Structure 1
Amino acid sequence: MPSGKGQGEPFKLEPFQKLFIRAVYEPQLKLRRVVRRAILSMARKNGKTALIAAIVLAHLVGPEAIVHGEIYSAANDRDQAAIVYKFARQMVDLDPELGQMIELVPSTKTMIARRTGSVYRAISAEAGTKHGYLPSLVIYDELAQAKNRDLYDVLDTSFGARDEPLFIVISTQSNDPEHIMSKLIDDGISGVDPAIVCHLYAADEECELGDEKQWHKANPALAKFRDYEDLATSIRKAIRMPAEEPKVRNLFLNQRVSPHASLISRAEWKACAGESKLQDGEEVYLSLDLSSTVDLTALMIGSVSDPCRIEPHFWKPRDKLIEHSSRDFGSGSHRYREWAEAGRLHDSPGKTINPEAVALFIAEMSQRYRIKGMAYDRWHMDYILREFDRIGLQAYEDCEKGGDGLRLVPWGQGYRDMGPAIDALELAVIERQLIHPNNPVLNWNMANAVATSDPAGNRKLDKDKARFRIDGAVALSMLLGLRARDRNIKPVDIEALIG
């Protein structure tokens, strides 16, 4: 070991590392390695750099070496790439036998195996995503911190000509459930594909910060080369300073949490997923959160009866799907287009959302269901009202007595209207009186939703603190707020309810 605990001593695998290595390399089929992708996710400072360096050397000049292999350790920036290369180089420098077998080229962070001609290179996303790689092994360090998936995709699609390619990811979890790191973990732990190994070390989702058993779950090297007191100090600070808690949970307990605490926890939201189909002729409420003409518009439909079953609808302009995928999810992402192709998002032809399409859809819903009312944000609503007039959909404002047609309820976005709406949303989730269909757009919006409070404790959704779009969360809050208002449900002390 060139540095850290055990410096100067032979590198020895810890039990969790042995378990991972065996899971990756032992399964064989007709003398060929079965595993093609491996994910090891754990909290920070658990010895991943040393493990990456050891695996690199095993493939360069060790038992996994092949003739003219190409080995890459990938990182998100040049500094991180340099750390991995430096560690591997120091291991070579400390071992005379390795020094004879490997030629070092520090200027390009490269090593060359003299006998086989195999090459190892440390690369970073900052260097661009040039094609031309033909890797036999890739190890991606801290993929969860990647701003986009460009480098990952280039490497992942470059294995074609190799007999036994291997892609290893060693990283903490991402706080974004739609990030490629989250997708890899979710796919890996499903156990569906024997060619994928995933070892996840993470604290339980709703654990107490001070529960030391949970520290060990996320830190398999704790009290070995993961310093116990350093971790304890960080966690004690988070207990004293709640603003630090999301970061500590993500980086040191390896939980999939946002840097800002979401309005509804991922576990609570996930528990409300289920069959939410609405029946023709059923009594429902609607809510509409309009965007600018180029962003995300959200319409929620929810049952009057308990539990409230939700049918979410979203619109984006078709010509902006790719551009806005890159803007919201990182260069190279096609997420909006993928959602549209999967039927989870309406793509409005052209460069803007056509208000006629939204108005016609609402008119169609008014024929399918018995709508008790539609809450709406006033912003840009005049476009929809003009379309209602044009297509002949009768509507009236809630304040107009004896109106005919669709009842429209303006819903302010300040503390007065949104405070009770957020209370209604939280109550429905906590009491499992909400069923949503696991729509990925709505899931993403809910994960992004962050509330802010005024001095009196009233809350509203805060778009400035939110990481990305929250339109679906706004629309859902308005729907449940109107539903609760019509029922004349008194405000509930959420804090008292949850203890």
Structure 2
Amino acid sequence: MKRRKTGRPTSSPEAIEHVSIDYAREVVAGDRIACRWVRLACERFLRDLERTDIRFDVAAADRAIGFMETFRHYKGQWAGTRMKLEAWQKFVVGNIFGWKWVDSGLRRFKYAHIEVPRKNGKTLLAAGISLYMLCADNEGGAEVYNAATKKDQAMILHRDARVLIEKSKDPDFRAAFAIRKNPPIIEYGAADSFMRPLGRDTEGDTTDGLNPHAVIADETHAWTKLGFWNVLNSALGARSQPLFLMITTAGHNMDSVGRSHSLIVQRILKGEDGGEGDDYFGIIFTIDEEDKERLDDPMVWAKANPLYGITVDEKKFRSQLALAKADPAINRELKTKWLNIWINQASLWLDSDKWAKGVHSYDKAKLDGLRCYGGLDLAITRDLSALVWVFPPQDWLERWTLLSHFWCPAADINTRSKRDKVPYQSWAENGFIVPTPGEVMDHGYITAQILADCQRYDVQAVGYDKTYAASLVNPLVEEGVNMLAFSQGIMTISPYAKELERLVIQGTHLNHFGHPVLAWNAGNVVVHMDANGNIKPDKKRSEERIDGIIASIMGLGCAIEMEYDGSLAGQWDCTVLS
């Protein structure tokens, strides 16, 4: 996919006129509100007009745009009116279908990643592109697949394409298709072509023998397994100018196909791909890093939503923002689906941006002699064990302070680093995890650390889960350590979990020194909530380890009970946008 430098452009860039060029120039000039990634996509477009190995075919771009504008809306206030692509949509279509290689005349872009919040017209746009690839791209026997993780999701895009045909005012156009509903398939007889939905949940008996001219992959933030994408991608090889189009909003799974390709696009737009992404078009509508501190600014909303004020309603946005300030779940929805910000799980509990603010560096030796409370979460045999010392505010210490220790069997460190791509090895090399010899946890290392820390700090108590810590407790009690069994029931944990959440949201009352393993744990936590609003970190639903957070909650609980007679617990008021 390296850039080729042969041939000559058909005309100078100054002589070319097109809506895509106008859009790019307006964004770069600052005449259109745009985030960094949209601006870089436009700069790339204008830069590429100077190249000699590719050319922008205005007629081809206009043909595709014109085709899509023959259809009619069938939902909402515009139902029955002709579709009119907005500027950002024309820019996308123009890029995909306008750029061609000079030497072959074939289209440049094989891949396209469109990342934009909901209600900005991406699904209808994708349906129009699907139909173009099916019947207007002069490809004999074209196979077009509307793909998603589940067939029901794939059917949404497929249904949009079907209704666009059925609502067409051109009887000859409608007559050119045979629409079948069981199984769902759209056939275009003139070219022996067809379109059908494809879900990963049905891949076992549907992916053999595919020969796609186009794959339209919907909501790739939900594609958690790469295998389905690989199968579809490998099947593109027989076509001369296929298209693999990915459309998505941001999501919560940082290992998803959507997130992976979002990062690919960012590397391409920053020029860090070494030319390998020359057949890849990408655009990402979101907000910039500095905008996260002013989420109540309509200019920020417009930056992420190219149809703000058209299909994205300002009143609805304000209402959603007000709800988000009082409900962390709605807040997460606002960030991912309305502002296109990737966060780390749909049920993410501790906001990563707020967590990152709890870093205050100083010599940890200053903590010597101060009162603290321990939380101990042990692995049964393998993986992580965590000890977190919680220092309440006292003397000169103004913030609640977490001091963390982690252990893992050496064999498991190697396995997890290779298999799961979690940087256990790097953490161990930098002292953030202590490897214990062999394949099972050696609790002697943990006992030694607790006893050493008792000599260094004024340890008041250590909370532990009695289910797994029995072998450790007796030796420590004999050494005079105050060991407190900490119930893991939701009624017990909830007030202290909410107190930790409050400290994270406040941002200025917590210091965890930026410990990377604890931060990773914090980003993994999914909570279970009962009917009364009590919460508890859920190890089964959390996709990765959360031991350090469990230990932090137990240590915090001990501190609250012994320092304040439990009076802090339950003082929960989530009125700050997390």
TM-score (norm 2): 0.60
Cα distance change, pair 345–452 in 1 and its aligned pair in 2 (3 A):
farther
Residue in 2 that maps onto 1:155: 232
- Bigger mean CA deviation after superposition, 24-33 or 112-121: 24-33
Amino acid at match of 1:474: I
Aligned partners of 2:524 and 2:543 also within 8 Å: no
Residue in 1 that maps onto 2:143: 70
Aligned partners of 2:127 and 2:160 also within 8 Å: yes
Q: Identity across aligned pairs (percent)?
A: 19
CA distance in 2, matches of 1:437, 1:166: 43
Cα distance change, pair 98–303 in 1 and its aligned pair in 2 (3 A):
same
Per-residue deviation, residues 67-91 of structure 1 (Å, max 9, x unmatched): 4433211134444433322322233
The equivalences for 1:135-284 within 5 A come to: 135-145=212-222, 151-190=228-267, 191=269, 192-193=272-273, 194-195=277-278, 196-202=280-286, 206=292, 210-228=296-314, 230-231=316-317, 234-235=320-321, 244-257=330-343, 262-270=348-356
Residue 136 of structure 1: how far off its partner (Å): 3.3
Amino acid at match of 1:264: L
Counterpart pick for 2:547 among 467, 471, 475: 471
Residue in 1 that maps onto 2:465: 378
Amino acid at match of 2:377: D
Cα distance change, pair 121–429 in 1 and its aligned pair in 2 (3 A):
same
Whether 1:357 aligns to 2:441 is yes
CA distance in 2, matches of 1:27, 1:301: 56
Residue 51 of structure 1: how far off its partner (Å): 0.6
Residue 99 of structure 1: how far off its partner (Å): 3.9
Whether 1:84 aligns to 2:161 is no
CA distance in 2, matches of 1:275, 1:491: 26
Counterpart pick for 2:117 among 43, 47, 51: 43
Amino acid at match of 2:250: Q
CA distance in 2, matches of 1:42, 1:231: 16
CA distance in 1, matches of 2:143, 2:252: 32
Per-residue deviation, residues 38-62 of structure 1 (Å, max 9, x unmatched): 3222222222221111111222222
Q: Which runs of 5+ in 2 are unaligned?
A: 1-71, 392-396, 429-436
Cα distance change, pair 419–231 in 1 and its aligned pair in 2 (3 A):
closer
Residue in 1 that maps onto 2:74: 3
Amino acid at match of 2:74: S
- Bigger mean CA deviation after superposition, 213-222 or 359-368: 359-368
Aligned partners of 2:223 and 2:257 also within 8 Å: no
Whether 1:434 aligns to 2:518 is no
CA distance in 2, matches of 1:122, 1:230: 32
TM-score (norm 1): 0.67
- Bigger mean CA deviation after superposition, 101-110 or 463-472: 463-472
Per-residue deviation, residues 245-298 of structure 1 (Å, max 9, x unmatched): 43344333434457887553121234568999x99xx9999864125568x643
Aligned partners of 2:145 and 2:198 also within 8 Å: yes
- Bigger mean CA deviation after superposition, 238-247 or 423-432: 423-432
Whether 1:339 aligns to 2:421 is yes
CA distance in 2, matches of 1:178, 1:434: 26
Amino acid at match of 1:90: V
Residue in 2 that maps onto 1:298: 385
Residue 408 of structure 1: how far off its partner (Å): 7.8
Aligned partners of 1:46 and 1:220 also within 8 Å: yes
Residue 3 of structure 1: how far off its partner (Å): 0.7
Residue 460 of structure 1: how far off its partner (Å): 7.5
Whether 1:422 aligns to 2:500 is yes
Cα distance change, pair 10–464 in 1 and its aligned pair in 2 (3 A):
same
CA distance in 2, matches of 1:262, 1:12: 38
Cα distance change, pair 473–197 in 1 and its aligned pair in 2 (3 A):
farther
Aligned partners of 1:311 and 1:437 also within 8 Å: no
CA distance in 2, matches of 1:479, 1:164: 60
Cα distance change, pair 210–263 in 1 and its aligned pair in 2 (3 A):
same
The equivalences for 1:120-135 within 5 A come to: 120-130=195-205, 131-132=207-208, 133-135=210-212
CA distance in 1, matches of 2:323, 2:85: 31
Aligned partners of 1:316 and 1:345 also within 8 Å: no
Per-residue deviation, residues 421-466 of structure 1 (Å, max 9, x unmatched): 8389749964684344645x9525434255989x9x9x98543997
- Bigger mean CA deviation after superposition, 478-487 or 203-212: 478-487
The equivalences for 1:420-499 within 5 A come to: 422=500, 426=504, 430=508, 433-436=511-514, 438-439=516-517, 443=520, 445-448=522-525, 450=527, 461-463=536-538, 468=543, 470-477=546-553
Amino acid at match of 1:84: L
- Bigger mean CA deviation after superposition, 102-111 or 424-433: 424-433
- Bigger mean CA deviation after superposition, 71-80 or 462-471: 462-471
Residue in 2 that maps onto 1:330: none
Q: Which runs of 5+ in 1 are unaligned?
A: 322-333, 347-352, 390-394
CA distance in 2, matches of 1:236, 1:428: 18
Cα distance change, pair 225–358 in 1 and its aligned pair in 2 (3 A):
same
Whether 1:61 aligns to 2:145 is no
CA distance in 1, matches of 2:348, 2:248: 23
- Bigger mean CA deviation after superposition, 123-132 or 477-486: 477-486
Amino acid at match of 1:396: L
1:264 alignment partner, SS class:
coil
Residue in 2 that maps onto 1:327: none
Cα distance change, pair 44–424 in 1 and its aligned pair in 2 (3 A):
closer
Aligned partners of 1:43 and 1:219 also within 8 Å: yes
Query: Which structure would you say has the larger Rg?
Result: 2
Cα distance change, pair 452–66 in 1 and its aligned pair in 2 (3 A):
closer
Residue 140 of structure 1: how far off its partner (Å): 1.6
2:215 alignment partner, SS class:
strand
Equivalenced residues, count? 457
Residue 213 of structure 1: how far off its partner (Å): 3.0
Cα distance change, pair 45–481 in 1 and its aligned pair in 2 (3 A):
same
